[in-house]
Structure 1
Amino acid sequence: MATRLRGRPAHAPGPTYLAYTPNGKKLITVGTNGAVRIFQHGSDDEPAIIDVTTDNHTAVVATNTFFLVGAEDGSVTKYSLLTNSMEEILVRCSLPVRDLSLSRDGEWVAVASDELEVKVVDTGDMTRIMHLREQSRPVKHVSFDVSGSMLAVSCSDGVVYMYSLSSEQPQLLKRIDGLVKTLETDAEASSKVAWHPDGRAFVAPTSTRDIQCLARKDWQRQKAFSGGHRADISAVKWSPNGALLATAGVDNSLCIWETRSQRLVKTFEDINHTILALNWHPTDNLCSYTNHNGELFIREDFVPSPSSSLLKIALHPAPMNNEPLSKISGNARKQADDRQKPDGVHRSVEDQYLDDLLGPDAMSEDDAGFIEDDDGAGYAEVPNGFGKRAAGAVNGLPVKRHQPYPSWRPQVQEAFQPGSTPWRGNRRYLCLNLTGFVWTVNQETHHTVTVEFYDRQEHRDFHFTDPYKYDKACLNEKGTLFSCPPSAQSQQSATLYYRPHETWTTRMEWKTQLPAGELVISMSLSDSCIVVMTTAGYVRVYTLFGVPLLVHRQKSTPAVTCASFRDYVMTVGTGPVSGDGTTRLLYSIENVRRDEICQNEDVLALPEGVELRSVFFSDKGDPCIYDTSGVLLTLLHWRTPGQAKWVPLLDTKMLERLASGKKDETYWPVAVADNKFHCIILKGGEEYPYFPRPLLSDFDFNIPVSSMPANKDDDEDKELAHQKGLEEQFVRASLQHSLQRDLVENTNASSAQKAEVSMMERGVDKVLLQMLAAECREGEERGMKALEIAALMRDRTGKMLEAAGKIASRFQRDILGDKIHQLAERRLVGLVDEEEM
């Protein structure tokens, strides 16, 4: 596909800068005028505009929820992407701001200005500031590494300062002189350091117009990208996986380089102005850049074929000298490249990489990687450099040597604790459910844990100082369960801590330590047991007060997650590799009290490219899962071995609130209760809930049976929508009836639960009666379908079929009425025969 250039006049003529949100959904641009523009990725609509009080903007950085803008008046202002409004002025400098750099977690921003010091400010608390004062001249650029623990400061005197931010007091690690050019802070040329995504190295533009790579370990120069520019370099940016490098120059040039070989992939000749800022899209083959003329350009199909396949590699290694084979990305797949073998066959990226590592003569195309065959038997005695036989020889003859190739590794889903969120700033949720929520705050030397309940009349909130730094928690009506990782300082193993909400004895809580070396991967808490999955592959089951019930090794490893309800435990682990290169997830369900397995290592129903988001049991005790595609599923017939099947309850992408396409929101699963899906609505590209505590929302089940008509105002479409709605009600009522019937047949059910089965059965038949009436209303030609609907009725007494016959008579469908009457007679005769037998 030919490259299509899209130019947009983003701002008034002058220096213009841009930033993508990490999820790639939004692109923010700033310029000389007093406005900020927010473009939606993939949309040709006009961007959202925020009128701001500052102008002459010099830098912008963004997270999924907010962005920061630096200006020549010395201010750094924070704006919300959720409300498209200003939140606060984060920090002020006495001189113009020149550059901003945001840590990957969005917690810290480094501010370079014409002042001699660099300010590193907490984006959530402006009072927390670190000052870097080793520079003797104003700073032009700042750049956080991947971990956020190191900051590269490019000074206008041509010195790069490397600071460690892992402690409260920043420490200067290294002054690198002679790497970058001496530049004024307002120069178009750049001296900004660009960290490689694997974190082991960085590149910087040099005075010789090359891009030099340096190793983080020893600051030694590695490979360089040379010969692409005839003037100073103005922008440098790695692709998201580090396989490619994009560079721009003040000579109106734009280049793409291949990381492995430092080969120039493409040079663009249609650049009319100097590019000041460029950024790859996080997921698509697309690059956007801005210039000093106020313009934004979006290049689709930025990387030409066949090099575009490099973007599909999970993570490519940095261009280091004498790179060992073990550093080749394990997730890299062989991709086509435009280098060819002499016979015209394309060489893969990995083959070329090995050629560079082993040398051009190590494996020539003439002998195809084999040892020379002198005796005609396909083998040869070739001594090594020490006069000894080659390694791998058998009976004095070396084995035929095949060409080596990089190992391939499947994509494995990471383990997770249901209901927990990752750290954001110094806070995170350890548990979120319908009972309440548990959250923790990192206080450096310790954590503080808070447990809050929705029903404060039943339970009292509590708060405690946590020296163990608990990282997982479960909460229900009976108690709260915590776990912490091992501590090297106290030499303490991983610990479980359970605190009941009510007790009739003086002992309120208990702790137990896991064997040395084991870590908790996931855990669950029910009304009768505690389940813990560990890194040793064990599933450990305890009573609520610490009595070990069961220890067994899980078949499918590594473990992913678990959930429990009363005595039932569901564990999820990693299974075999599927055709798309990802590992299947396998689940097992067992009753730990009776030591009975309900489902053993069955496949979790997830389509290609979709991952598991959460696992939990409904309030009635049925297993449920929620995946990254926004689909909620429940497990039918799960108490019968080999009969379980995953049935969708709700597809959130089909909700009416999303039909207009104006809402950008996803849903964080919390629970399934009262025949509703309880969740937290996440807006503006958020992936996890955050503080203050979000409100819970709930949606009725809506099984995706068919699409609904778009025009509901039209009478014909309105009638069709009514019919489709009845069909969905029938499928949903049948599913709920099956779940309740399984419960009654397989457990010691109460009389109320047994009565509910009969009520649900009548509910299914009532929906069928409504469907029958809708078909009769359409005309006699729909009679066969109407009879089919009548045959689906489950009532064995004949009352529902009698009501169906009356409906047919009301619409004067006499033939249909006769056939329904015959159906009722046959069913009655069959019922009598069953009773006699």
Structure 2
Amino acid sequence: MASTAPFRPRARPAHTQGSTHCAYTPDGSKLVTVGSNNTIRLYKTGFDGEPINIDDCQEQNVSVAASDEFFVVGSEDGTLSLYSIPNAAFDSFLLRTSLPIRDVALSSDSKWCAVASDELTVKVVRTDDNSKLRHLRAHNKPTKHLAFDTKGETVSLACTDGIIYVYDLTGDGTDDPELIRRIDGVIGTLDTDSEISTAIAWHPDGRAFAVPTPTRDIQVISKNDWEKQRIFSNGHIGEITALAWSPNGAMLASAGKDKKILVWDTKTQTVISRHDFSNVMDIAWHPTDNLVSFTNSDGEVYIYPDFVPEQHTALLKLSKQPAPFIHDPLLEISTNVRRPEANGFKPMVSRPRRDSVGSYDSLMDGPLPEDEDFVVDDDGAGYVVNSNGKRLHDGVDVFGEPVSKRRNVEIEYHEAFQPGSTPWRGNRKYLCLNLIGFVWTVDQDGHNTVTVEFYDREFHRDFHFTDTFLYDKACLTENGVLFSCPPSGDTPATIFYRPHESWTHRIDWKTQLPKGEAVLAMSLSDSFVTVTTTANYVRVYTLFGMPYKVYRPKSSPMVTCASWRNYVMTIGNGPAGGDGQTKLLYTIENIKRDEICQNEDTVALPPGASLKSVFFSDCGVRAFQIHPSSCVLLVWNTPKI
């Protein structure tokens, strides 16, 4: 039996040879294509006949962006045109530039359109009122590509000088946006009319974007710190000309001068399928179907059903996937997410099951639709739904008095943190910074490299080592350094103490926590090692690794701890207020004398503020650092200490 050749869609001659681009409407019902001739084509999804032509348009159209009701087109003659989709006709000119337009982008709500041209200034215009215009002026080179983030809070420009410029759009719309970031060393320098792409493609989860690099790789940049994250490498052997994320972010499609379209798995950054197509200039995923369309410089359009191979179609059925971070902040705080049942009662009506506690989808998708009006009839007051679909005694209590709807208040717990450490910035992280020195680690994909440096190098010698345990927390004193790593698979969490070099024999020690228990925070003093865990235990060890004390504090979940000599201060979540936010309570104890100095006192946080660090001074004065609303350092004297 003869083998069946793989399916290959037919090329649809749509425009004359030259720049050709496409875009799907957000509802997926239409595909818009523009090109060098004075015709725009509207393809109806699922219909294989001839498209609708719009002939009343400019020539040399180089960019298109679409909403459900209209689309905008930028032309080399400097005009930005708006077209009606229901009428399939020209509507109006939004603005005109003195030099050729190179790229256009619509905000997520389609109210603003950003326009890049060979001018130095980028313009952002209202699509419903072109008298409202904002200018981006802080960059000093023409812009080749631009993109709004998924929330419309920023607009990013890829300029010909090889720098990405990020502007803040969160103002009231009357002033020009402010430049908040320059990202250098990622994209290359290009001419505005080059077919090589430096397009900025935002991941659907809104936390990162991908951009082609001069090394023919695709680099992911995070929004929270604008640092490099995972990279899609070893795929193309020619310069990249187009890229686009799948609607759920589980895959990335890219095209290159090597006459290939590659489909990447976002989670592993590996190529899962290859397609042979040359001169591809633009790629568009259908919002819901296994359907991808792309255009080439020959003026042709390809509409490719079943683009993702059958063995990988399960990726398209996944919910929204996370952007490929080296260290995902959502996963790092997952142990702090708790969703208790309201009032300790089980709901009396059936509800669809949520994703597991702390999962990415449960954090990103928000409340379920039925949660917005969910009432528990736990006191028999008649709020439940009867067989006719109506509420009993709606709006009144058992006495006939008006009552407000009762809602479940979700408890907001303060996240655990390690004092003196920083979040991951790309593949680097400070595990500890204090007046003795600092400890930092570099993720090397499979192992870490840990470096310990001291300010007084005459007293202590710097050192570094290869870390196969992947330590994520550390404490540093004049006597030694303490590390801990999270559990991984069947390997439990491990604590490692290493005294500094001295003339005496150095004794390192390691100990493991019970299976399933992880370290939330730890501290190191001249006398003891203190560890707070996810099981809400405080575990105290001597500097020789002997367990000294284990207890469970009343305030939980635990947040952090600090120590000085024989004293340990632990902080945990206390009772919740009416707004659902917990109070932070701290306890100071003399471990050696088994004496409580202060018990369950409140940390005086202003409304909306969070605790970022806690520590003792060298004479035993305790301090709390607050962030971000007030940037206050609270200091208490401790007479008993």
TM range (shorter): 0.5 to 0.7
Mapping for residues 423-462 of structure 1, pairs under 5 Å: none
Q: Could you say what the CA RMSD is over the residues aligned between the two structures, in angstroms?
A: 3.2
Query: For residues 745-760 of structure 1, what are the structure 2 equivalents within 5 Å?
Result: none
Instruction: Give 1:311's aligned amino acid.
Output: L
Change (3 A) 1:593 1:159: closer
Q: Which residue of 2 aligns with 1:835?
A: none
Measure, in 2, the Cα distance between the counterparts of 1:571 and 1:151. Answer: 50
Deviation at 1:322, TM superposition (A): 2.2
The 3-state SS of whatever aligns with 1:590 is: coil
Report the secondary structure of 2:10's partner residue.
strand
Is residue 2:242 matched to residue 1:230? no
Distance 2:213 2:326 in 1: 19
Mapped contact 2:382–2:393 kept (Cα < 8 A): no
C-alpha deviation, 1:304, in angstroms? 1.0
CA distance in 1, matches of 2:294, 2:32: 11
Once residues 82 and 125 of structure 2 are traced to their aligned partners in structure 1, the CA distance between those partners, rounded to angstroms, is 12
| Equivalence for 2:16 | 12
Which residue identity is paired with 2:117? S
Query: For the residues of structure 2 that align with 1:295 and 1:593, how far apart are their CA atoms?
Result: 62
Q: Which has the higher mean CA deviation after the structures are superposed, 320-329 or 97-106?
A: 320-329
Q: CA deviation at 1:140?
A: 0.3
State the 1:86 CA deviation: 1.1
Q: For the structure 1 residues 552 and 77, does the alpha-carbon distance in structure 2 shift closer, same or farther, using more than 3 Å as the test?
A: farther
Note the alpha carbon deviations across 1:371-394, whole angstroms, 9 max, x for none. Answer: xxxxxxxxxxxxxxxxxxxxxxxx
What is residue 188 of structure 1 aligned with on the other side? 195
Partner of 1:282: 287
Residues 402-439 of structure 1, C-alpha deviations (whole Å, 9 max, x = no match): xx9969869998549xxxxxxxxxxxxxxxxxxxxxxx
Distance 1:42 1:155 in 2: 38
Q: Which residue is equivalent to 2:392?
A: 590
Cα offset for 1:587? 4.4
Q: In the aligned structure 1, how far is the partner of 2:63 from the partner of 2:328? A: 36
Match of 1:80 among 77, 84, 103: 84
Tell me the alpha carbon deviations over residues 71-129 of structure 1, each in whole angstroms, 9 at most, x when there is no partner. 01100000101111111100100011100111111111100000001000100100001
Query: Residues 291 and 538 (structure 1 numbering): CA distance in 2 closer, same or farther, change over 3 Å?
Result: same
Structure richer in strand, relative to its length: 2
CA offset digits 1:557-584 (Å, max 9, x no partner) = xxxxxxxxxxxxx799xxxxxxxxxxxx
Equivalent-residue separation in structure 2 for 1:551 and 1:124 (angstroms) = 51
Structure 1 pair 4–160 and aligned structure 2 pair: CA distance change class (3 A): same
Query: What amino acid does structure 1 have at the position aligned with 2:303?
Result: I
Distance 1:196 1:131 in 2: 25
1:291 maps to what in 2? Answer: 296
Q: Is the 8 A contact 1:222 1:320 kept in 2?
A: yes
Instruction: Give the Cα separation in 2 of the matches to 1:214 and 1:202.
Output: 5
| Of 243, 250, 258, the match for 2:250 | 243
Indicate whether 1:134 and 2:138 are aligned: yes
Conservation of the 8 A alpha-carbon contact between 1:198 and 1:242: yes
Q: Deviations over 1:136-184 (max 9, x none)?
A: 1111001110001111100011110001100133111101111101010
The CA deviation at 1:588 is 4.3
- Cα distance, 1:305 vs structure 2: 2.6
Measure, in 2, the Cα distance between the counterparts of 1:47 and 1:105. 27
| Structure with greater Cα Rg | 1
1:44-91 deviations in Å (ceiling 9; x for gaps) = 111011112410100011101001111011000001011111111001
**Code of the aligned partner of 1:590:** L
- How far the C-alpha of 1:325 sits from its partner, in A, is 7.1
Check the 8 A contact 1:157/1:183 in 2, yes or no: yes
169, 173, 186: which one aligns with 1:179: 186
Distance 1:262 1:86, change over 3 A: same
Q: SS of the residue aligned with 1:6? A: coil
| 2:155 corresponds to 1:148 | no
Q: Are 1:254 and 1:268, in contact at CA under 8 Å, matched by a contact in 2? A: yes
CA contact (8 A) 1:91 1:126 kept: yes
Q: Is this contact kept in 2: 1:3–1:299, CA < 8 A?
A: no
Provide the secondary structure at the position in 2 that maps to 1:306. helix
What code does the residue aligned with 1:306 have? Q
Matched, 1:305 2:310: yes
In the alignment, what sits opposite 1:376? none
- Partner of 2:564 in structure 1? none
How big is the shift at 1:591? 5.1
Counterpart of 1:445? Answer: none
Q: How does 1:758-777 map to 2 (within 5 A)?
A: none
AA paired with 1:71? S
1:150–1:554: structure 2 CA closer, same or farther, 3 Å change rule? farther
Shift of 1:5: 1.3
Counterpart position of 1:525: none
Specify the SS of the correspondent of 1:265. Answer: strand
Consecutive unaligned residues of structure 2, counting only runs of 5 or more, are: 335-356, 399-641
1:326 alignment partner in structure 2: 331
Q: Whole-Å Cα distance in 2 between the matches of residues 202 and 408 of structure 1? A: 19
TM-score, normalised via structure 1 length: 0.41
2:115 pairs with 1:111: yes
Q: Secondary structure at the match of 1:326?
A: helix
Deviations 1:203-243 (A, max 9, x none): 11111110011111111111100011112111111000000
Higher relative contact order (CA 8 A, sep 6+): 2
Residue 128 of structure 1 aligns with an amino acid whose one-letter code is: K
* 8 Å contact kept, 1:538–1:553: no
Aligned-residue offset at 1:188 = 0.2
Q: Does 1:57 align with 2:61?
A: yes
Question: Does 2:339 correspond to 1:314?
Answer: no
Residues 172 and 266 of structure 1, relative CA distance in 2, 3 Å threshold: same
Summarize the alignment of residues 531-546 of structure 1 with structure 2, pairs less than 5 Å apart. 537=375
Question: Whose helix fraction is larger, Structure 1's or Structure 2's?
Answer: 1
- The 1:324/1:413 distance shift into structure 2, 3 A limit, reads closer
Match runs of 1:576-725 below 5 Å: 587-590=389-392, 592=394
In the alignment, the residues of structure 2 paired with residue 206 and residue 73 of structure 1 have an alpha-carbon distance, to the nearest angstrom, of 29
Residues 194 and 236, structure 1, Cα contact 8 Å, conserved in 2: yes
Q: Which runs of 5+ in 1 are unaligned?
A: 330-403, 417-519, 522-532, 540-549, 556-569, 573-585, 597-837
- Tell me whether 1:35 sits opposite 2:16 in the alignment: no
Displacement of 1:252: 1.7
Q: Is the 8 A contact 1:15 1:276 kept in 2?
A: yes
- 8 Å CA contact 1:3–1:301 kept in 2: the answer is no
Cα pair distance change 1:65/1:414, threshold 3 Å? farther
How far apart are the structure 2 equivalents of 1:554 and 1:230? 65
Taking the aligned partners of 1:301 and 1:53, their CA distance within structure 2 comes to 33
Q: Quick one: structure 1 residues 25 and 299, their matched pair in 2 at CA, closer, same or farther if it must change by over 3 Å?
A: same
Distance 1:317 1:553, change over 3 A: farther
Paired with 1:405 and 1:414, the residues of 2 have a C-alpha distance of 15
Q: Which residue of 2 aligns with 1:765?
A: none
Q: Which residue of 1 aligns with 2:467?
A: none
Q: For 1:159, give the aligned amino acid.
A: I
- Alignment pair present for 1:198 and 2:202: no
413 and 252 in structure 1: CA distance in 2 versus 1, 3 angstrom threshold? same
Please say which of residues 50-59 and 239-248 is displaced more in the overlay. Answer: 50-59
Sequence identity, in percent?
A: 42
Q: Distance in 1 between matches of 2:123 and 2:383?
A: 50
Q: Secondary structure at the match of 2:316?
A: helix
Q: 1:176 to 1:407 in 2, by over 3 A?
A: closer
How many residues were matched structurally?
368
Structure 1 CA distance for aligned equivalents of residues 237 and 283 of structure 2: 19
The residue aligned with 1:217 is 224
Letter in 1 for 2:324: P
User: What is the rounded CA distance, in whole Å, between the counterparts of 2:25 and 2:163 in structure 1?
Assistant: 30
AA aligned opposite 1:257: W
